[in-house]
Structure 1
């Protein structure tokens, strides 16, 4: 799918008056509409820097690639596929740039190659030297075009191609220089929720998605995988191991670090060498299918009791401090084992039993004192589901755990009671710019619904890439457009739906994001116009409400029409069903207000039918077993339902004729 942006986010498409000249032996140059200006492209995640040049160009039908030997084949293959999708019919190869360009040339490779260095020097560009960093540049030269995709490493080259993918969605590519690198070294998701795990198909789709948002990490940690938690001592069946191997290969193809997590905490004996060797054997089997990064989850367990008498004899009476010492011993042994086998492997990751808040405690002090400094510690913020995370919060966590922590952000996960009946589709907000200096990285814990999770995960990945340049609302729009396949009408329908699922709960009674803010502004405006406006203002507000209600009621059919990712529509089915009914209730409410405004007794009938549809919508429940807690669907609750309930009191009505607006 193509990543585009809404018309109200980008004023014009690329255009301009300065373009590469054509000749009969070069490519066919397109021409934008007269009077359009070359504008800065919107790239997501936001690059560190992007400088617009003068002019723009279309690639035409023929392009030459210059690829130094040893260049990553996955990135080269992806460039070829993207060019073909963009309408390029002939892709030739060349060994070096000619002195005079006569067509589009694309130089692709890392900056240690002479050809790439020469291309950058020709354009006067200093190469990007940060890990995962890249440079994308384009210029019009002679009768051709030079595009350079250069990087510090193979990962960076893959990210450069993802940026090029976004540029190719435009009819005209501007001349520009993009220099970019990630702010956080670890960015991605942890499939760490309770309830129905993702299918292997969901996971593979998710890995493909993560690549498009420049994430680099996926942690396999479904709580309901018995071989990773309840039966962690048992070997995986060969068939399951083979399926996991396919996922590891898909991750490698997308430059995603596949991290395998095991949760032995409920039954492990920390001082038993047999349990240590069992973990080592488990990791060995996973290394055989290509896994290089491992994780031990010690969350959601009791540390006030030992699982074996040997731990009591080794560490003394159970308790928080003793648990910290015992956990550190086991983790240190695993870390040493992993490094002895593969010195270049990423360090072991762990989530502690006290994984939330940054308050000093005997447990944290024991980990800080005893845990190998290379082991990465995860932390969920100031609470299990924190309403906000600030730079001082992260500094406090660094002090408490003795290292920069890897943020496990429990958003948009919906496996806890307060999230029952909800999809969590609000933008990713209230994480402070500057956290990149205080964290080792950031991982989102997504929902049981993989496709729907992408709305928030797109924001998490963009924040991890460039927290200081992050704009949550713009990323939210970009995520909607990606799911909509670039279709304007479907994007608008999705954003209307997202607004009804904006409320982000915590473990307490106060949500950290409010419900349906855009709908509330609209409905509050109608109420204010009825209460305080002139006759003309009131009439217009009701007319606007009728129009908005029609769009609201029609949004589910647009989302289901096939343009939007079909998996999203399937996962959201009961919410879309409820939205359609609520939309009918809103249409009837608007009709009732218009009838009442005209003094018609038909208003009473409209309001009664609105109440009937609202009751039907309220009765719809979530898909059984899809999430940890089933329950009634919640949609714009506290906003839409209250407006429909109270609307009959807004205008008095005694007599008159009906409005003629359909009730069915």
Structure 2
């Protein structure tokens, strides 16, 4: 096996073997689809797309969805797409039929296959004998999700016969831009909405803490220019079948009993409704809730305190919910995040909120802590009891706006959330990093878990996220996975992280340690050769990533981490050379180790991009793993005698 085959990774190698085998010898295997579909059944045979296809769109199909199918096919090598009004029973070329299942042409194309009937569900069939691919959505959203699955299948050009029935486990899946520090730009938000579509997410909450018109100046109307920008985001969200949710944070100054403040909330939401926003959110997190902002609240609710705050908040939110319903009877329910948004312990505040809050209002909850190390089904059940309804999880991962994340990108896969949480949550919203493009790695996992928590695999999803960012390039995918490993740690507000640092590199370095201590000469040489390859991969990964990633903003936003990784890789390469020289009793070892130390010192001084995150500081790369090994290496082999 070649070195490239060894390094390509099992999922990539399997895909390479599947789609490069000559057609006559090809055995169809189940394709890797992310998020994992609810049900996939393989049939017999394969279908090759070819250069020309006919496209049958059922009447009423969204033209934007049809256009997306055409772009996917052309990117997959189809050169001629012929529109057709109806499907042909035995077409000479591949035909693609798409629409919702209430269309006769779609039902006929399914040929007796029972379609998925869940909200946002879809059925996708590849029928070689009929030379037909059918995309059948239970609704328009489901059809759009079917197209995203087609996007993953088409690059292979030869598709196995199969039937996919699929739908999301959780109704709400996506992100909440709710971090402190530099908010995303409008361009970054639009790119993020495009990304959310690819992972079948359906919700984006606009809640940047640093938008003055949503927090400090919440009563003031938005400038016309800002409304124009928000309108463009709402249009982009609709195009991507993502609910654009506008959040306002009146808590620091609101007078709960003042009719004028309730009217100010109505006015703000009316303005947003006028530009195409139809779902709203009131955030009451991170405020002082045991003192009133106005004398009127003291007169209305009595002495300030947690229970009084819970009642006052609930009654204001009820009034907002009633107003939203009056203005738009079809409007989705209001979402709120309470002041006690973490843990599910019974408190006077939660009791009051549970007693008074309209049951239609959706409550967000961050889990067992602000940054929870794990969330179980019993945890969610306790939250359901505490808030009087199933909650919408606000998961503070991969957000990096707190001190423990200084110098870090959080790139570990989404993990330690229990399969089956879909039975106790209405959904999950990830709070991402200040860096939008790097956030997509973890958010891919959040979306995949929320879509199908019972069949979610964090490691396979991590490979998928890397491959998507690499544009399918195997070498770039490997480089990204190497880089992700150096940013695997996931801190909490405490001293212990909930995911370990650099597990792949750590395992290799421990193998080298153990082999140098206990192995024979051949084993030592083999272990040091592995170390050299790992050092080469680490040193080369940044340039490969910069050259090959499909979205250059990832490299731009990761710049200091990539710079530091290259230096740490060179330091590890010098360390490997030093260990090899020392093992051969060469006096050159000391020079290699000294150079490694100098490079490590340079790497450790690289700083984060000023102002990019809430806390600036030195970049951390596989800290506690790589730096420890480089510092320890000169002591692993006895020094060479100078006599």
Q: TM-score, normalised by structure 2?
A: 0.97
Offset from partner CA, 1:207-258 (integer Å, 9 cap, x none) = 0000000000000000001110011111111001100100000000000000
Once the two structures are TM-superposed, the CA of residue 649 in structure 1 deviates from its matched residue by 0.5
Per the alignment, residue 184 of structure 1 pairs with 170
Q: What SS does the corresponding residue of 1:384 show, helix, strand or coil?
A: coil
The within-5 A match list for 1:249-648 is 249-648=235-634
Per the alignment, residue 90 of structure 1 pairs with 80
Q: TM-score, normalised by structure 1?
A: 0.94
Query: 1:14/1:611 Cα in 2 relative to 1: closer, same or farther (>3 Å)?
Result: closer
Query: 1:494/1:566 Cα in 2 relative to 1: closer, same or farther (>3 Å)?
Result: same
Query: 1:92/1:269 Cα in 2 relative to 1: closer, same or farther (>3 Å)?
Result: same
Indicate the structure with greater helix content: 2
Contact 2:121 2:166 in 1 (8 A): yes
Once the two structures are TM-superposed, the CA of residue 11 in structure 1 deviates from its matched residue by 4.9
The 2-side partners of 1:383 and 1:103 are apart by 56
Per the alignment, residue 93 of structure 2 pairs with 103
The 1-side partners of 2:12 and 2:404 are apart by 37
Offset from partner CA, 1:126-167 (integer Å, 9 cap, x none) = 0111000000001122xx511110011000000000001111
The 2-side partners of 1:61 and 1:585 are apart by 49
Query: 1:585/1:99 Cα in 2 relative to 1: closer, same or farther (>3 Å)?
Result: closer
Per the alignment, residue 126 of structure 1 pairs with 114
Q: What SS does the corresponding residue of 1:137 show, helix, strand or coil?
A: strand
Query: 1:238/1:432 Cα in 2 relative to 1: closer, same or farther (>3 Å)?
Result: same
Q: What SS does the corresponding residue of 1:347 show, helix, strand or coil?
A: coil
The 2-side partners of 1:16 and 1:444 are apart by 34
Query: 1:527/1:285 Cα in 2 relative to 1: closer, same or farther (>3 Å)?
Result: same
Q: What SS does the corresponding residue of 1:561 show, helix, strand or coil?
A: helix
Once the two structures are TM-superposed, the CA of residue 563 in structure 1 deviates from its matched residue by 3.5
Per the alignment, residue 35 of structure 2 pairs with 45
Once the two structures are TM-superposed, the CA of residue 98 in structure 1 deviates from its matched residue by 2.8
Contact 2:473 2:548 in 1 (8 A): no
The 1-side partners of 2:472 and 2:270 are apart by 44
Contact 1:232 1:263 in 2 (8 A): yes
The 1-side partners of 2:603 and 2:411 are apart by 19
Give unmatched runs, 5+ long, in structure 1. 18-29, 658-664
Q: What SS does the corresponding residue of 2:214 show, helix, strand or coil?
A: coil
The within-5 A match list for 1:235-254 is 235-254=221-240
The 2-side partners of 1:522 and 1:409 are apart by 32
Query: 1:633/1:13 Cα in 2 relative to 1: closer, same or farther (>3 Å)?
Result: closer
Once the two structures are TM-superposed, the CA of residue 305 in structure 1 deviates from its matched residue by 0.3
Per the alignment, residue 22 of structure 1 pairs with none
Give unmatched runs, 5+ long, in structure 2. 1-6
Once the two structures are TM-superposed, the CA of residue 15 in structure 1 deviates from its matched residue by 8.9
Query: 1:576/1:98 Cα in 2 relative to 1: closer, same or farther (>3 Å)?
Result: closer
The 2-side partners of 1:401 and 1:459 are apart by 27
The 2-side partners of 1:326 and 1:293 are apart by 22
Alpha-carbon RMSD: 1.6
Query: 1:522/1:439 Cα in 2 relative to 1: closer, same or farther (>3 Å)?
Result: same
The 1-side partners of 2:629 and 2:348 are apart by 51
Per the alignment, residue 8 of structure 1 pairs with 10
Q: What SS does the corresponding residue of 1:546 show, helix, strand or coil?
A: helix
The within-5 A match list for 1:20-169 is 32-120=22-110, 122=111, 124-141=112-129, 145-169=131-155
Q: What SS does the corresponding residue of 2:54 show, helix, strand or coil?
A: strand
From 183, 186, 201, the counterpart of 1:215: 201
Once the two structures are TM-superposed, the CA of residue 102 in structure 1 deviates from its matched residue by 2.1
Q: What SS does the corresponding residue of 1:60 show, helix, strand or coil?
A: coil
Question: Structure 1 residue 654 and structure 2 residue 640: aligned?
Answer: yes
Once the two structures are TM-superposed, the CA of residue 101 in structure 1 deviates from its matched residue by 2.7
Per the alignment, residue 3 of structure 2 pairs with none
Offset from partner CA, 1:195-215 (integer Å, 9 cap, x none) = 000000000000000000000
Once the two structures are TM-superposed, the CA of residue 12 in structure 1 deviates from its matched residue by 4.0
The 2-side partners of 1:6 and 1:547 are apart by 13
